[in-house]
């Protein structure tokens, strides 16, 4: 019984085991299916990530390509603007030529209007194959403003003034770049704003030594011998026109000094004399103080000390020769033989070959080159008087000039009436009942003896004991008359000598100072008075004791001692319209003295005819503006930055 039960249990277990066959295989298959699903999910996930990352990479690459392209093109704008600045530009000329911005736009559109690959270089070459191009319809570069700066600059770039030391350019710009990724993704970025560029200009110069001829009339005051701290001072007041001395100026504390133009001296120091027993300091300075007193002249155009000395004329040979030939050139004295060949008196008698003691002579001929008799024809530049004389100047008609000369008791009147062209017109000489008509008028002659301009040299080989106009306040020198009066010895001025038309103002009016040019009164009228060996003497015979002289006055020569000096009664008010050029300062005996510089003498070499001149050694400095141009770092000011993707 027991054995049967045991067998039954065994059979039952066998039957149960038969029912469980294949479960392991099914489990294995299920596990394999699960693993396959998981693997497939992982593959899909990884691939999706790769796709997403690839798209993001290309998308960002397109963005960076566009952004990099903008930076490249924007820098190219600066590079090409800088390249347009030449190494050298003319003074007062802007360094970036007008229209450059249009050329820059055209250039960048050409260079970057089609795909431009950013490949890198060196070890990174080809590592980033994105590209970009710009939208050529958007590219714009416009000049907004250009301002010259520094060195008294004014105006704008097209018309700068003052030789600016820099130029500030401001441009507005607009750019649009389309970035292209390797996978086809695109991104567009638009950038607009302002670009400021500073172009500096450092002026350079080249120097060369040369000599120039300068008329002494170009100085308002020239004193050869002015010793520093010698016991006398320069008279205070307003002094107009350029001022120079071959010595040194000494200023006092008894009044104010105002110099309207440049002041120069060969001496390195200025003298400052303090009154009341004070010291006279010698300083390389423009001002000086002693205790509570300061001497500070006003130098509107500088006080230049230690300048080269100005050579003086050795004699008046040129002035003598100007009468004979109208050229006034030569270093030797005029001989009696030369006078005999060129000069004749009213009786058509030649100047004596052995010399003369008196007489009025003019350079004219009565026969032609073939020896045929002709009407008297003037050949030279003026009037020659032998011996002492008095001279009265007066106008005739609209442009004629009358010379009344008293020499050795004989009165000779010469009336010069110019024609329409230089050298033409008539010269009429009268003495007593005799009249001589001469064809032509005194004039400046060129090297071929052709008249170039009407001008007269009145040379007195002696002293002029009285020089004046027709009366106080009356015109003496006509419009259009160019005249120099020269004496071998002294010239005494006894009355007013006035221009018919005053070329400069004699009083200040509001902000307009005295000695301001009056253009409507400039008729080329000019008078010079010169002596190389004597003084210009003031011997005023006018009852109100006032005196006016419209002329440049020169008493100057090498080794000379001449000056402007008073030999008569004191003068209440002395006006000089022109300038004074002297070897020495002397006593003018005037309560009030005014010197109004004729500013026509400061321009274009205008001066009295054959007036003494000097050869000045100069260093010519040629300024080359912007020969070292430099362009500063650009300053960008962004107004708008717009980004969008193109899918």
Is pLDDT above 50 for 622? Answer: no
Which tokens sit at 203?
Answer: 């002026």
pLDDT band of 208, cuts 50, 70, 90: low
CB atoms within 10 A of CB 204: 13
Region 244-271: what's the mean pLDDT? 94
* Structure confidence at residue 19 (pLDDT): 59
pLDDT band of 627, cuts 50, 70, 90: very low
* Structure confidence at residue 625 (pLDDT): 43
Residue 174 backbone phi and psi in degrees, to 5? -140, 135
Mean predicted lDDT score pLDDT of the chain: 87
CA atoms within 13 A on the CB side of 245: 20
Residue pLDDT, tens place only, 374-388: 999 999 999 999 999
What is the full DSSP assignment across 493-548? E-S-BEESS-SB-SS-BTTBPTT-B-GGG-SS-EEEEEESSS-EEE----TT-EEE
* Structure confidence at residue 422 (pLDDT): 95
CB atoms within 10 A of CB 330: 15
Is pLDDT above 90 for 160? Answer: no
Would you say 575 and 547 are in contact if contact means Cβ atoms under 8 Å apart? yes
Which tokens sit at 612?
Answer: 């003494």
Is pLDDT above 60 for 620? Answer: no
Q: How far is CA 442 from CA 164, 438, 457, in A?
A: 49, 11, 8
Is pLDDT above 50 for 103? Answer: yes
* Structure confidence at residue 40 (pLDDT): 78
In percent, how much of the chain has pLDDT > 70? Answer: 86
Closest C-alpha among 185, 178, 180 to residue 52: 185
Region 198-226: what's the mean pLDDT? 79
Q: Which residues have CB under 8 Å from 572's CB, separation 6+?
A: 544, 545, 546, 590, 591, 592
Cα 488 to Cα 347: distance, rounded to the nearest angstrom = 25
Would you say 364 and 381 are in contact if contact means Cβ atoms under 8 Å apart? no
Is pLDDT above 80 for 566? Answer: yes
Is pLDDT above 70 for 567? Answer: yes
Return left, alpha or beta for 444; rule: phi > 0 is left, psi -120 to 50 is alpha, else beta: beta
Q: Which residues have CB under 8 Å from 53's CB, separation 6+?
A: none
Q: Which residues have CB under 8 Å from 138's CB, separation 6+?
A: 174, 175, 176, 190
In percent, how much of the chain has pLDDT > 90? Answer: 59
* Structure confidence at residue 596 (pLDDT): 93
- Candidate ranges 37-41, 150-154, 285-289, 461-465; pick with highest mean pLDDT: 461-465
Beta bridge partners of 475: 498
Is pLDDT above 80 for 56? Answer: no
Is pLDDT above 60 for 531? Answer: yes
Three-point CA angle 93, 99, 100, nearest 5° = 85
Cα 213 to Cα 340: distance, rounded to the nearest angstrom = 31
pTM: 0.66
Four-CA torsion 65, 66, 72, 78, nearest 10 degrees: -170
Would you say 66 and 187 are in contact if contact means Cβ atoms under 8 Å apart? yes
Would you say 414 and 427 are in contact if contact means Cβ atoms under 8 Å apart? yes
Residue 572 backbone phi and psi in degrees, to 5? -75, -55
pLDDT band of 35, cuts 50, 70, 90: confident
Higher pLDDT: 197 or 553? It is 553
Closest C-alpha among 458, 451, 492 to residue 477: 458
């Amino acid at each position: 019984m027991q054995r049967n039960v045991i067998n039954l249990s065994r059979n039952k277990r066998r039957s149960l085991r038969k029912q469980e066959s294949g479960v392991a295989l099914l489990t294995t298959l299920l596990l394999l299916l699960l693993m396959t699903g998981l693997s497939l999910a992982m593959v899909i996930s990884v691939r999706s990530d790769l796709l997403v990352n690839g798209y993001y990479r290309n998308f960002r690459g397109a963005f960076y390509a566009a952004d990099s392209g903008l930076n490249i093109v924007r820098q190219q704008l600066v590079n090409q603007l800088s390249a347009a600045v030449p190494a050298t530009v003319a003074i007062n000329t802007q360094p970036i030529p007008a229209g450059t911005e249009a050329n820059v736009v055209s250039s960048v559109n050409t260079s970057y209007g089609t795909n431009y690959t950013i490949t890198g270089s060196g070890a990174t070459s080809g590592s980033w194959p994105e590209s970009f191009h710009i939208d050529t319809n958007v590219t714009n570069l416009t000049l907004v403003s250009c301002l010259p700066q520094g060195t008294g600059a004014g105006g704008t770039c097209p018309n700068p003034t003052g030789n600016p030391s820099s130029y500030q350019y401001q441009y507005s710009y607009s750019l649009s770049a389309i970035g292209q990724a390797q996978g086809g993704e695109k991104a567009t970025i638009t950038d607009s704003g302002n670009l400021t560029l500073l172009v500096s200009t450092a002026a350079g110069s080249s120097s060369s030594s040369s000599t120039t001829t300068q008329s002494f009339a170009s100085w308002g005051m020239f004193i050869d011998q002015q010793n520093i701290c010698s016991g006398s001072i320069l008279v205070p007041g307003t002094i107009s026109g350029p001022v120079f001395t071959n010595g040194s100026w000494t200023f006092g504390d008894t009044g104010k000094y105002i110099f309207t133009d440049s002041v120069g001296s060969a001496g390195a120091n200025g003298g400052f004399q303090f009154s009341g027993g004070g010291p006279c300091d010698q300083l390389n300075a423009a001002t000086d103080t002693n205790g509570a007193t300061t001497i500070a002249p006003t130098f509107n155009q500088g006080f230049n000390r230690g300048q080269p000395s100005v050579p003086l004329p050795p004699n008046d040979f040129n002035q003598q020769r100007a009468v004979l030939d109208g050229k006034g050139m030569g270093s030797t004295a005029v001989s009696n033989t030369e006078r005999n060949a060129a000069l004749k008196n009213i009786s058509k008698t030649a100047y004596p070959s052995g010399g003369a003691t008196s007489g009025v002579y003019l350079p004219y001929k009565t026969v032609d080159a073939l020896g045929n008799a002709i009407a008297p024809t003037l050949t030279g530049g003026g009037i020659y008087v032998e011996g002492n004389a008095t001279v009265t100047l007066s106008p005739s008609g609209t442009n004629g000039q009358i010379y009344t000369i008293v020499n050795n008791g004989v009165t000779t009147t010469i009336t010069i009436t110019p024609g329409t062209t230089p050298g033409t017109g008539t010269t009429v000489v009268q003495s007593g009942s005799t009249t001589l008509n001469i064809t032509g008028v005194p004039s400046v002659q060129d090297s071929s003896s052709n008249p170039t301009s009407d001008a007269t040299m009145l040379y007195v080989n002696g002293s002029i004991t009285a020089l004046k106009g027709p009366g106080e306040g009356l015109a003496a020198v006509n419009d259009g008359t160019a005249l120099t009066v020269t004496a071998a010895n002294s010239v005494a001025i006894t009355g007013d000598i006035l221009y018919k038309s005053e070329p400069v103002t004699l009083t200040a009016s509001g902000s307009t100072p005295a000695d301001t040019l009056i253009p409507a009164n400039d008729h080329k009228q000019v008078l010079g008075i010169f002596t190389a060996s004597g003084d210009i003497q003031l011997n005023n015979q006018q009852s109100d004791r006032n005196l006016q002289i419209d002329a440049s006055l020169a008493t100057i020569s090498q080794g000379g001692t001449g000056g402007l000096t008073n030999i008569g009664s004191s003068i209440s008010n002395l006006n000089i319209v022109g300038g004074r050029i002297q070897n020495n300062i002397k006593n003018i005996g005037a309560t009030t003295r005014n010197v109004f510089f004729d500013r026509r003498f400061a321009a274009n070499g205008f001066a009295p005819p054959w007036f003494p001149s000097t050869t000045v050694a100069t260093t010519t400095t040629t300024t080359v503006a912007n020969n070292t141009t430099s362009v500063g770092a650009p300053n960008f000011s962004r107004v708008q930055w717009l980004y969008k993707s193109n899918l």
